[in-house]
Amino acid sequence: MGKLVVSKSWQESKLLWHIAFPAILTAVFQFSIGFVTVGFVGHIGAVELAAVAVVENVIEGFAYGVLLGMGSALETLCGQAVGAGQVDMLGVYIQRSWVICGATALVLTPTYLFTAPILRVLRQPGDIADVAGTYTRWVLPQLFAYAANFPLQKFFQAQSRVWVITFISGAGLAVHVVLNYVFVTRLGHGIFGAAIVGNVSWWLIILAQFGYLVSGCFPEAWRGFSALAFKNLAAFVKLSLASAVMLCLELWYYTAVIILVGVLRNAQLQVDVMSICINYQLWTLMIALGFNAAVSVRVSNELGANRPKAAKFSVIIAVLTSGFIGAIFMALFLIWRTELPRFFSEDEEVLREAAKLGYLLAGSIFLNSIQPVLSGVAIGAGWQSLVAFINIGCYYFVGLPLGALFGFKLKLDALGIWVGMSVGTLLQTAILLFISYRTKWEKQAMLAEERIREWGGRNDALPSTTQVALAVDEVDR
Protein backbone atom coordinates (compact mmCIF):
# COMPACT_ATOMS: atom_id res chain seq x y z
CA MET A 1 0.00 0.00 0.00
CA GLY A 2 2.82 2.38 0.92
CA LYS A 3 4.65 1.72 -2.35
CA LEU A 4 1.45 2.38 -4.31
CA VAL A 5 0.96 5.74 -2.59
CA VAL A 6 4.58 6.71 -3.23
CA SER A 7 4.29 5.67 -6.88
CA LYS A 8 1.06 7.61 -7.38
CA SER A 9 2.52 10.64 -5.60
CA TRP A 10 5.59 10.55 -7.85
CA GLN A 11 3.49 10.30 -11.00
CA GLU A 12 1.22 13.15 -9.90
CA SER A 13 4.22 15.27 -8.92
CA LYS A 14 5.69 14.82 -12.40
CA LEU A 15 2.39 15.87 -14.00
CA LEU A 16 2.17 18.92 -11.73
CA TRP A 17 5.78 19.99 -12.25
CA HIS A 18 5.43 19.57 -16.00
CA ILE A 19 2.96 22.46 -15.89
CA ALA A 20 4.03 24.23 -12.70
CA PHE A 21 7.74 24.73 -13.40
CA PRO A 22 7.38 26.60 -16.71
CA ALA A 23 4.30 28.37 -15.33
CA ILE A 24 6.34 29.53 -12.32
CA LEU A 25 9.11 30.81 -14.57
CA THR A 26 6.58 32.56 -16.82
CA ALA A 27 4.87 34.20 -13.84
CA VAL A 28 8.23 35.25 -12.35
CA PHE A 29 9.45 36.66 -15.66
CA GLN A 30 6.25 38.61 -16.33
CA PHE A 31 5.91 39.88 -12.77
CA SER A 32 9.57 40.86 -12.82
CA ILE A 33 8.84 43.37 -15.57
CA GLY A 34 7.10 45.54 -12.97
CA PHE A 35 9.63 44.47 -10.31
CA VAL A 36 12.51 45.71 -12.48
CA THR A 37 10.67 48.94 -13.30
CA VAL A 38 10.22 49.72 -9.60
CA GLY A 39 13.88 48.86 -8.99
CA PHE A 40 15.13 51.32 -11.63
CA VAL A 41 12.64 54.06 -10.70
CA GLY A 42 13.45 53.69 -6.99
CA HIS A 43 16.92 55.06 -7.67
CA ILE A 44 15.50 58.20 -9.31
CA GLY A 45 13.88 59.46 -6.10
CA ALA A 46 11.60 58.64 -3.15
CA VAL A 47 8.52 60.34 -4.65
CA GLU A 48 8.98 58.48 -7.95
CA LEU A 49 9.38 55.18 -6.10
CA ALA A 50 6.21 55.76 -4.08
CA ALA A 51 4.27 56.96 -7.17
CA VAL A 52 5.15 53.97 -9.36
CA ALA A 53 4.59 51.59 -6.42
CA VAL A 54 1.11 53.06 -5.87
CA VAL A 55 0.34 52.78 -9.59
CA GLU A 56 1.42 49.15 -9.73
CA ASN A 57 -0.38 48.18 -6.53
CA VAL A 58 -3.51 50.32 -6.88
CA ILE A 59 -4.31 51.27 -10.48
CA GLU A 60 -2.51 48.51 -12.38
CA GLY A 61 -3.31 46.06 -9.58
CA PHE A 62 -7.01 46.91 -10.01
CA ALA A 63 -6.90 46.49 -13.80
CA TYR A 64 -4.64 43.43 -13.65
CA GLY A 65 -7.02 41.74 -11.22
CA VAL A 66 -10.10 42.42 -13.34
CA LEU A 67 -8.50 41.17 -16.57
CA LEU A 68 -6.83 38.16 -14.95
CA GLY A 69 -10.19 37.23 -13.48
CA MET A 70 -12.07 37.70 -16.74
CA GLY A 71 -9.46 35.56 -18.49
CA SER A 72 -9.59 32.86 -15.81
CA ALA A 73 -13.01 31.67 -16.98
CA LEU A 74 -11.04 30.27 -19.90
CA GLU A 75 -9.00 28.21 -17.43
CA THR A 76 -12.11 26.36 -16.24
CA LEU A 77 -13.61 25.84 -19.69
CA CYS A 78 -10.45 25.00 -21.64
CA GLY A 79 -9.17 22.62 -18.98
CA GLN A 80 -12.44 20.71 -18.75
CA ALA A 81 -12.82 20.66 -22.56
CA VAL A 82 -9.32 19.17 -22.94
CA GLY A 83 -10.14 16.52 -20.33
CA ALA A 84 -13.35 15.66 -22.22
CA GLY A 85 -11.49 15.35 -25.53
CA GLN A 86 -13.02 18.47 -27.13
CA VAL A 87 -9.86 20.38 -28.04
CA ASP A 88 -11.56 21.91 -31.10
CA MET A 89 -13.57 24.21 -28.80
CA LEU A 90 -10.46 25.96 -27.44
CA GLY A 91 -10.04 28.29 -30.43
CA VAL A 92 -13.60 29.53 -30.04
CA TYR A 93 -13.20 29.93 -26.28
CA ILE A 94 -10.04 32.06 -26.57
CA GLN A 95 -11.71 34.36 -29.10
CA ARG A 96 -14.70 34.82 -26.80
CA SER A 97 -12.30 35.65 -23.99
CA TRP A 98 -10.49 38.22 -26.17
CA VAL A 99 -13.79 39.93 -26.96
CA ILE A 100 -14.73 40.09 -23.29
CA CYS A 101 -11.27 41.12 -22.02
CA GLY A 102 -10.89 43.76 -24.75
CA ALA A 103 -14.24 45.30 -23.87
CA THR A 104 -13.26 45.20 -20.19
CA ALA A 105 -9.99 47.05 -20.95
CA LEU A 106 -11.97 49.82 -22.66
CA VAL A 107 -14.20 50.13 -19.60
CA LEU A 108 -11.11 50.35 -17.36
CA THR A 109 -9.38 53.04 -19.46
CA PRO A 110 -10.78 56.00 -17.43
CA THR A 111 -9.01 54.69 -14.30
CA TYR A 112 -5.70 55.21 -16.11
CA LEU A 113 -6.68 58.63 -17.47
CA PHE A 114 -7.91 59.97 -14.14
CA THR A 115 -5.44 58.35 -11.74
CA ALA A 116 -4.38 61.60 -10.03
CA PRO A 117 -7.90 62.65 -8.90
CA ILE A 118 -8.71 59.06 -7.95
CA LEU A 119 -5.67 58.88 -5.68
CA ARG A 120 -6.51 62.25 -4.13
CA VAL A 121 -10.01 60.99 -3.33
CA LEU A 122 -8.30 58.02 -1.68
CA ARG A 123 -6.34 60.56 0.42
CA GLN A 124 -2.92 59.77 -1.05
CA PRO A 125 -0.23 62.50 -0.80
CA GLY A 126 -0.58 65.17 -3.53
CA ASP A 127 2.96 64.94 -4.94
CA ILE A 128 2.69 61.15 -5.23
CA ALA A 129 -0.76 61.43 -6.88
CA ASP A 130 0.51 63.92 -9.48
CA VAL A 131 3.50 61.81 -10.54
CA ALA A 132 1.36 58.66 -10.55
CA GLY A 133 -1.28 60.34 -12.73
CA THR A 134 1.32 61.26 -15.34
CA TYR A 135 2.85 57.78 -15.29
CA THR A 136 -0.44 55.92 -15.79
CA ARG A 137 -1.31 57.90 -18.93
CA TRP A 138 2.01 56.77 -20.40
CA VAL A 139 1.47 53.08 -19.53
CA LEU A 140 -2.08 52.81 -20.92
CA PRO A 141 -0.95 50.45 -23.74
CA GLN A 142 -0.04 47.89 -21.06
CA LEU A 143 -3.72 47.67 -20.08
CA PHE A 144 -4.60 46.26 -23.51
CA ALA A 145 -1.53 43.99 -23.40
CA TYR A 146 -2.98 42.39 -20.25
CA ALA A 147 -6.30 41.88 -22.06
CA ALA A 148 -4.53 39.93 -24.80
CA ASN A 149 -2.08 38.11 -22.51
CA PHE A 150 -4.32 36.25 -20.07
CA PRO A 151 -6.51 34.43 -22.65
CA LEU A 152 -3.36 33.38 -24.53
CA GLN A 153 -1.79 31.98 -21.36
CA LYS A 154 -4.89 30.03 -20.31
CA PHE A 155 -5.18 28.58 -23.84
CA PHE A 156 -1.60 27.27 -23.73
CA GLN A 157 -1.73 26.11 -20.10
CA ALA A 158 -4.88 24.03 -20.61
CA GLN A 159 -2.96 21.96 -23.17
CA SER A 160 0.22 21.86 -21.04
CA ARG A 161 2.06 23.77 -23.80
CA VAL A 162 3.87 26.34 -21.70
CA TRP A 163 7.62 26.13 -22.33
CA VAL A 164 7.55 28.33 -25.42
CA ILE A 165 5.65 30.97 -23.42
CA THR A 166 8.30 30.73 -20.72
CA PHE A 167 11.09 31.39 -23.22
CA ILE A 168 9.15 34.31 -24.72
CA SER A 169 8.58 35.85 -21.28
CA GLY A 170 12.23 35.36 -20.30
CA ALA A 171 13.41 37.03 -23.49
CA GLY A 172 10.94 39.88 -22.89
CA LEU A 173 12.29 40.39 -19.37
CA ALA A 174 15.89 40.44 -20.65
CA VAL A 175 14.96 43.08 -23.23
CA HIS A 176 13.16 45.03 -20.50
CA VAL A 177 16.24 45.11 -18.24
CA VAL A 178 18.52 46.25 -21.07
CA LEU A 179 16.12 48.96 -22.25
CA ASN A 180 15.65 50.27 -18.70
CA TYR A 181 19.39 50.44 -18.19
CA VAL A 182 19.83 52.33 -21.46
CA PHE A 183 16.89 54.73 -21.31
CA VAL A 184 16.40 55.23 -17.54
CA THR A 185 19.88 54.89 -16.06
CA ARG A 186 22.23 55.87 -18.88
CA LEU A 187 20.15 58.37 -20.89
CA GLY A 188 18.21 59.68 -17.86
CA HIS A 189 14.69 59.65 -19.32
CA GLY A 190 13.20 59.07 -15.85
CA ILE A 191 9.77 57.59 -15.33
CA PHE A 192 8.73 58.51 -18.88
CA GLY A 193 11.48 56.22 -20.18
CA ALA A 194 10.45 53.50 -17.70
CA ALA A 195 6.82 53.68 -18.89
CA ILE A 196 7.66 53.47 -22.61
CA VAL A 197 10.10 50.62 -22.02
CA GLY A 198 7.35 48.74 -20.15
CA ASN A 199 4.96 49.20 -23.07
CA VAL A 200 7.50 47.93 -25.59
CA SER A 201 8.43 44.90 -23.45
CA TRP A 202 4.82 43.81 -22.91
CA TRP A 203 3.78 44.15 -26.55
CA LEU A 204 6.82 42.24 -27.77
CA ILE A 205 5.69 39.37 -25.50
CA ILE A 206 2.10 39.53 -26.83
CA LEU A 207 3.17 39.54 -30.49
CA ALA A 208 5.48 36.57 -29.92
CA GLN A 209 2.74 34.59 -28.14
CA PHE A 210 0.24 35.32 -30.91
CA GLY A 211 2.81 34.20 -33.48
CA TYR A 212 3.09 30.90 -31.62
CA LEU A 213 -0.70 30.53 -31.59
CA VAL A 214 -1.07 30.90 -35.38
CA SER A 215 2.16 29.08 -36.27
CA GLY A 216 0.42 25.77 -36.99
CA CYS A 217 1.43 24.14 -33.70
CA PHE A 218 -2.24 23.86 -32.66
CA PRO A 219 -4.02 22.39 -35.73
CA GLU A 220 -6.98 21.07 -33.73
CA ALA A 221 -7.34 23.83 -31.13
CA TRP A 222 -6.81 26.85 -33.45
CA ARG A 223 -8.62 26.88 -36.80
CA GLY A 224 -8.66 30.60 -37.40
CA PHE A 225 -11.07 33.34 -36.42
CA SER A 226 -14.72 32.34 -36.22
CA ALA A 227 -18.09 34.05 -35.84
CA LEU A 228 -18.84 31.46 -33.13
CA ALA A 229 -16.78 33.68 -30.82
CA PHE A 230 -19.80 35.98 -30.56
CA LYS A 231 -22.26 33.15 -29.82
CA ASN A 232 -23.41 32.43 -26.26
CA LEU A 233 -21.38 35.37 -24.94
CA ALA A 234 -23.82 36.01 -22.08
CA ALA A 235 -23.10 32.65 -20.40
CA PHE A 236 -19.37 33.16 -20.94
CA VAL A 237 -19.55 36.63 -19.42
CA LYS A 238 -21.33 35.22 -16.36
CA LEU A 239 -18.51 32.79 -15.58
CA SER A 240 -15.92 35.44 -16.46
CA LEU A 241 -17.46 37.89 -14.01
CA ALA A 242 -17.53 35.28 -11.25
CA SER A 243 -13.84 34.55 -11.91
CA ALA A 244 -13.04 38.27 -11.98
CA VAL A 245 -14.81 38.97 -8.69
CA MET A 246 -13.06 36.04 -6.98
CA LEU A 247 -9.55 37.01 -8.10
CA CYS A 248 -10.08 40.75 -7.84
CA LEU A 249 -11.12 40.48 -4.22
CA GLU A 250 -7.78 38.76 -3.57
CA LEU A 251 -5.61 41.18 -5.56
CA TRP A 252 -7.49 44.28 -4.39
CA TYR A 253 -6.76 43.22 -0.84
CA TYR A 254 -3.18 44.41 -1.40
CA THR A 255 -4.50 47.54 -3.10
CA ALA A 256 -6.64 48.35 -0.07
CA VAL A 257 -3.63 47.79 2.21
CA ILE A 258 -1.54 50.30 0.21
CA ILE A 259 -4.40 52.82 0.39
CA LEU A 260 -4.64 52.39 4.18
CA VAL A 261 -0.89 52.84 4.52
CA GLY A 262 -1.07 56.03 2.44
CA VAL A 263 -3.29 57.58 5.11
CA LEU A 264 -0.84 56.89 7.97
CA ARG A 265 1.45 59.47 9.52
CA ASN A 266 4.60 59.98 7.47
CA ALA A 267 2.78 58.42 4.52
CA GLN A 268 5.64 58.49 2.00
CA LEU A 269 7.92 56.49 4.31
CA GLN A 270 5.16 54.00 5.14
CA VAL A 271 4.18 53.54 1.47
CA ASP A 272 7.83 52.97 0.51
CA VAL A 273 8.24 50.38 3.28
CA MET A 274 5.00 48.56 2.50
CA SER A 275 5.62 48.60 -1.25
CA ILE A 276 9.02 46.93 -0.75
CA CYS A 277 7.48 44.18 1.40
CA ILE A 278 4.53 43.63 -0.94
CA ASN A 279 6.83 43.48 -3.96
CA TYR A 280 8.84 40.70 -2.32
CA GLN A 281 5.70 38.89 -1.24
CA LEU A 282 4.24 39.13 -4.76
CA TRP A 283 7.52 37.91 -6.24
CA THR A 284 7.49 34.76 -4.10
CA LEU A 285 3.76 34.47 -4.76
CA MET A 286 4.68 33.71 -8.38
CA ILE A 287 5.89 30.28 -7.22
CA ALA A 288 2.49 29.51 -5.72
CA LEU A 289 0.77 30.92 -8.81
CA GLY A 290 2.67 28.36 -10.88
CA PHE A 291 1.06 25.66 -8.76
CA ASN A 292 -2.22 27.57 -8.98
CA ALA A 293 -2.07 27.17 -12.77
CA ALA A 294 -0.90 23.57 -12.56
CA VAL A 295 -3.52 22.36 -10.10
CA SER A 296 -6.22 24.27 -11.98
CA VAL A 297 -5.26 22.44 -15.19
CA ARG A 298 -4.96 19.07 -13.43
CA VAL A 299 -8.30 19.40 -11.60
CA SER A 300 -10.18 20.68 -14.66
CA ASN A 301 -8.65 18.01 -16.92
CA GLU A 302 -9.48 15.18 -14.49
CA LEU A 303 -13.01 16.42 -13.84
CA GLY A 304 -13.60 16.85 -17.58
CA ALA A 305 -12.36 13.28 -18.11
CA ASN A 306 -14.63 11.99 -15.30
CA ARG A 307 -11.80 11.02 -12.92
CA PRO A 308 -12.82 12.67 -9.61
CA LYS A 309 -10.44 10.66 -7.38
CA ALA A 310 -7.48 11.76 -9.50
CA ALA A 311 -8.62 15.39 -9.16
CA LYS A 312 -8.73 15.08 -5.36
CA PHE A 313 -5.28 13.46 -5.22
CA SER A 314 -3.84 16.25 -7.38
CA VAL A 315 -5.09 18.83 -4.87
CA ILE A 316 -3.32 17.07 -1.98
CA ILE A 317 0.02 16.80 -3.80
CA ALA A 318 -0.10 20.41 -5.02
CA VAL A 319 -0.81 21.84 -1.55
CA LEU A 320 1.96 19.79 0.11
CA THR A 321 4.54 20.65 -2.57
CA SER A 322 3.81 24.38 -2.65
CA GLY A 323 3.72 24.53 1.15
CA PHE A 324 7.16 22.90 1.38
CA ILE A 325 8.63 25.45 -1.05
CA GLY A 326 6.94 28.25 0.92
CA ALA A 327 8.66 27.04 4.10
CA ILE A 328 12.05 27.30 2.37
CA PHE A 329 11.33 30.87 1.26
CA MET A 330 10.16 31.76 4.75
CA ALA A 331 13.51 30.64 6.16
CA LEU A 332 15.45 32.62 3.53
CA PHE A 333 13.54 35.82 4.27
CA LEU A 334 14.07 35.43 8.00
CA ILE A 335 17.82 35.12 7.45
CA TRP A 336 18.17 38.05 4.99
CA ARG A 337 15.39 40.34 6.14
CA THR A 338 17.78 43.28 6.70
CA GLU A 339 19.55 43.05 3.32
CA LEU A 340 16.74 42.36 0.84
CA PRO A 341 15.17 45.88 0.99
CA ARG A 342 18.40 47.39 -0.40
CA PHE A 343 17.38 46.39 -3.92
CA PHE A 344 14.65 49.05 -3.83
CA SER A 345 16.07 51.87 -1.76
CA GLU A 346 19.23 53.38 -0.29
CA ASP A 347 17.35 55.41 2.34
CA GLU A 348 18.46 54.14 5.77
CA GLU A 349 15.13 54.95 7.43
CA VAL A 350 13.22 53.01 4.75
CA LEU A 351 15.61 50.08 5.12
CA ARG A 352 15.28 50.08 8.92
CA GLU A 353 11.46 50.14 8.87
CA ALA A 354 11.28 47.46 6.15
CA ALA A 355 13.52 45.18 8.21
CA LYS A 356 11.07 45.47 11.14
CA LEU A 357 8.39 43.87 8.97
CA GLY A 358 10.74 41.01 8.05
CA TYR A 359 9.26 38.49 10.50
CA LEU A 360 5.68 39.11 9.40
CA LEU A 361 6.73 39.10 5.76
CA ALA A 362 8.31 35.66 6.19
CA GLY A 363 5.15 34.27 7.80
CA SER A 364 2.96 35.76 5.08
CA ILE A 365 5.15 34.21 2.40
CA PHE A 366 4.55 30.74 3.87
CA LEU A 367 0.81 31.33 4.13
CA ASN A 368 0.66 32.58 0.56
CA SER A 369 2.36 29.44 -0.69
CA ILE A 370 -0.82 27.51 0.14
CA GLN A 371 -3.70 29.94 -0.44
CA PRO A 372 -3.22 30.46 -4.24
CA VAL A 373 -3.10 26.70 -4.78
CA LEU A 374 -6.53 26.41 -3.18
CA SER A 375 -7.76 29.23 -5.42
CA GLY A 376 -6.46 27.22 -8.39
CA VAL A 377 -8.57 24.29 -7.22
CA ALA A 378 -11.59 26.60 -7.16
CA ILE A 379 -10.93 27.75 -10.74
CA GLY A 380 -10.39 24.21 -12.00
CA ALA A 381 -13.63 23.04 -10.40
CA GLY A 382 -15.65 26.15 -11.28
CA TRP A 383 -16.30 27.36 -7.70
CA GLN A 384 -15.57 31.01 -8.44
CA SER A 385 -18.85 32.41 -7.07
CA LEU A 386 -18.53 30.57 -3.74
CA VAL A 387 -14.93 31.67 -3.21
CA ALA A 388 -15.86 35.27 -4.05
CA PHE A 389 -18.19 35.34 -1.03
CA ILE A 390 -15.53 33.74 1.18
CA ASN A 391 -13.03 36.39 0.08
CA ILE A 392 -15.42 39.22 0.89
CA GLY A 393 -15.95 37.92 4.42
CA CYS A 394 -12.34 37.07 5.25
CA TYR A 395 -10.60 40.01 3.61
CA TYR A 396 -13.01 42.90 3.85
CA PHE A 397 -15.04 42.09 6.96
CA VAL A 398 -12.12 40.68 9.00
CA GLY A 399 -8.65 41.47 7.60
CA LEU A 400 -8.98 45.13 6.64
CA PRO A 401 -11.01 46.22 9.71
CA LEU A 402 -8.44 44.52 11.97
CA GLY A 403 -5.63 46.18 9.99
CA ALA A 404 -7.24 49.59 10.43
CA LEU A 405 -7.75 48.91 14.15
CA PHE A 406 -4.14 47.85 14.73
CA GLY A 407 -2.63 50.43 12.40
CA PHE A 408 -4.59 53.52 13.45
CA LYS A 409 -6.24 52.91 16.82
CA LEU A 410 -3.33 51.01 18.37
CA LYS A 411 -0.81 53.17 16.45
CA LEU A 412 1.15 50.22 15.09
CA ASP A 413 1.27 51.85 11.64
CA ALA A 414 2.31 49.58 8.73
CA LEU A 415 3.06 46.71 11.14
CA GLY A 416 -0.52 46.72 12.46
CA ILE A 417 -2.04 46.86 8.96
CA TRP A 418 0.09 43.89 7.91
CA VAL A 419 -1.04 41.89 10.97
CA GLY A 420 -4.69 42.49 10.08
CA MET A 421 -4.05 41.50 6.46
CA SER A 422 -2.38 38.26 7.58
CA VAL A 423 -5.30 37.31 9.85
CA GLY A 424 -7.72 37.68 6.93
CA THR A 425 -5.54 35.54 4.67
CA LEU A 426 -5.16 32.87 7.38
CA LEU A 427 -8.94 32.66 7.84
CA GLN A 428 -9.56 32.40 4.09
CA THR A 429 -6.95 29.65 3.72
CA ALA A 430 -8.47 27.64 6.57
CA ILE A 431 -11.96 27.85 5.03
CA LEU A 432 -10.74 26.79 1.57
CA LEU A 433 -8.86 23.84 3.10
CA PHE A 434 -12.06 22.74 4.85
CA ILE A 435 -14.13 23.05 1.66
CA SER A 436 -11.57 21.09 -0.39
CA TYR A 437 -11.54 18.37 2.28
CA ARG A 438 -15.35 18.04 2.36
CA THR A 439 -15.95 18.27 -1.41
CA LYS A 440 -17.77 15.39 -3.15
CA TRP A 441 -15.62 15.19 -6.26
CA GLU A 442 -18.00 12.82 -8.08
CA LYS A 443 -20.60 15.56 -8.17
CA GLN A 444 -17.98 18.01 -9.44
CA ALA A 445 -17.31 15.66 -12.38
CA MET A 446 -21.01 15.71 -13.27
CA LEU A 447 -21.07 19.51 -13.11
CA ALA A 448 -18.04 19.67 -15.41
CA GLU A 449 -19.88 17.58 -18.03
CA GLU A 450 -22.91 19.83 -17.83
CA ARG A 451 -20.73 22.93 -18.22
CA ILE A 452 -19.02 21.59 -21.35
CA ARG A 453 -22.37 20.70 -22.92
CA GLU A 454 -23.84 24.12 -22.10
CA TRP A 455 -20.98 26.00 -23.79
CA GLY A 456 -20.98 24.22 -27.09
CA GLY A 457 -19.50 20.77 -26.48
CA ARG A 458 -20.46 17.69 -28.51
CA ASN A 459 -22.60 15.20 -26.57
CA ASP A 460 -21.05 12.20 -28.32
CA ALA A 461 -17.58 13.12 -27.08
CA LEU A 462 -18.52 13.50 -23.43
CA PRO A 463 -17.85 10.76 -20.87
CA SER A 464 -20.93 8.94 -19.67
CA THR A 465 -22.49 10.20 -16.46
CA THR A 466 -24.12 6.91 -15.58
CA GLN A 467 -21.30 5.58 -13.44
CA VAL A 468 -20.74 9.00 -11.91
CA ALA A 469 -24.38 9.33 -10.95
CA LEU A 470 -24.33 5.88 -9.34
CA ALA A 471 -21.18 6.81 -7.44
CA VAL A 472 -22.75 10.03 -6.18
CA ASP A 473 -25.86 8.15 -5.04
CA GLU A 474 -23.64 5.68 -3.19
CA VAL A 475 -21.68 8.48 -1.51
CA ASP A 476 -24.89 10.27 -0.49
CA ARG A 477 -26.19 7.14 1.18
* Stated length of the chain: 477
**308-351 tens-digit pLDDT:** 888 888 888 888 888 898 899 888 888 887 877 877 777 778 78
- Burial grade of 433 (CB within 10 A; 0-12, 13-18, 19 or more): middle
pTM of the entire predicted model: 0.72
What is the pLDDT at residue 448? Answer: 67
Tens of pLDDT, residue by residue over 95-143, are 888 988 898 899 999 989 998 898 888 777 788 888 888 888 998 999 9
Q: What angle do CA 293, 296, 301 make, to 5 degrees?
A: 125
Q: pLDDT of 290-312, one tens digit each?
A: 787 788 778 877 877 788 888 88
Q: Containing domain of residue 200, as a range?
A: 2-476
**What's the pLDDT band for 166 if we cut at 50, 70, 90?**
very high
Over the stretch 352-369, which tens digit does the pLDDT of each residue have?
A: 877 877 788 888 888 888
Are 312 and 441 within 8 A, CB to CB?
yes
Distance, CA of 325 to CA of 306 (rounded, Å) = 30
Nearest-CA neighbor of 146 among 67, 47, 49, 230?
A: 67
What's the gap between Cα 433 and its chain centre?
Answer: 19
Domains identified in the chain, total number: 1
- Average pLDDT of the residues in 443-461: 61
The string of DSSP codes covering 5-51 is HHHHHHHHHHHHHHHHHHHHHHHHHHHHHHHHHHHHHHTT-HHHHHH
Task: Tell me the residue type at 292.
Answer: N
Confidence of residue 466 (pLDDT cuts 50, 70, 90): very low
**Do the Cβ atoms of 287 and 94 come closer than 8 Å?**
no
Note the Cα 187 to chain centre separation in Å: 34
Average confidence (pLDDT) over 214-240:
79
pLDDT tens, 36-78?
A: 888 788 777 777 877 887 888 778 877 877 887 777 777 777 7
Give which of 115, 120, 118, 108 is closest to 137, Cα–Cα. 115
The stretch 22-31 carries a mean pLDDT of 84
